[in-house]
Each structure stands twice: as structure tokens, then as C-alpha cells.
Chain A
């Protein structure tokens, strides 16, 4: 069964403490992987799209990387405003998106 699994479910960090979020997938025929950020009470907001293994994208304190079976969202020296739920979604060969359940990130000042 095609699946997208995000880990950990929740992550608490001190301000400035770098870490990584994981998105692993078992779909065949990957066409792309998306990362979104979701703030409480709001819809997801697009961050990155990755298309092939080895690809990396960066935006401010965030860097997304992709391998053949997983993607990492690295957050460097996070600030409290980086607190949110981070979602990944995999676009596969039948043109459907499969979404992970998300990682809730809390950055304490």
C-alpha cells in the first residue's frame, strides 16, 4: 500500500536548536514531493517542491532534501515563529497526492 509517514509526530526544541523532520514514502513512480507549513486555524502554505533524489531547496532557516525513499526538512537555528505543523505530500504516477499526517514543531524561546 502506498504510504507517506512523517516523524516525529511532535518535536519540541529550544530557540536556536537545529533539528530535522522526516517524511518517508513507499509509493512507486514518485513524480514529486511537496512540503507545506500549516499554522493553527489556517490552511497549509506551500514551502518546497522536490522532484528527484539528491535535490535540495532552501528558504531562510529551512532546507529540504530528497532521497529515493525519504525527504528531510532541516531547520537551522529555529525561532519561535517557526512553530507550526509541517506537512509533506507525495505526488505519484497516477497524478494523486498522498499526504502525511504532519509533524507539529514547537520552538520555545
Chain B
């Protein structure tokens, strides 16, 4: 089946630093990737939709200057959390939609646990 990887799987950083999370589709091309955030005991919250070669579309309430998304190729999207603060600590999950997928399927990465001290 289709595999999506995320790197790193977990990261601890100091407040004020920036952290980059990579999302890769390993065996398929993905025109569209999604980034989600999940706080403890809550559901996945969509942050942004990323289309290859164009600017990401952010959900209401998500700061685009704080969460920078780059989708420069059909197999890689990156999320950079700039000037991270403790309230940004969360589980970040990406998903990828295969190019030409027939029924809006998507495949999820394993998630990245971010802890900001």
C-alpha cells in the first residue's frame, strides 16, 4: 500500500527556535498534501492544504507566517514552525492524496511529536 513518512518522529526544541517537519510520499506522487495538528485527547484539526507548486491554503485561525508550508515536489511537503512556543507543542500529522486518485483517498504519515520547552 501507499506509504507516507514523516521526519522527525519526535522533536524537542527551545522556545523561540524554528522546527521543520518533513512529509514524504514514498511510493506515489501527491499533488495535494494536508497538515493536521492534534492536541491530547482531541481529534485531528486540519491546519492547511498544500498543493504542489502553489501556496498553501490555511484554515481559519492558523497563522500562515508562523506555520510555513512548502510543497516543492510531488513527493515532499514541509511544515516549519517558526519561533515555536510551548503552546505549539502538539502532534503534527500529514496526509497525502495520490495524484489522479479516484475517490479522494488519502494516506497518513505516522505523525511528529513536537515539544517546545
Do A and B bind? no
Q: Which A residues form the contact surface with B (CB < 8 A)? A: none
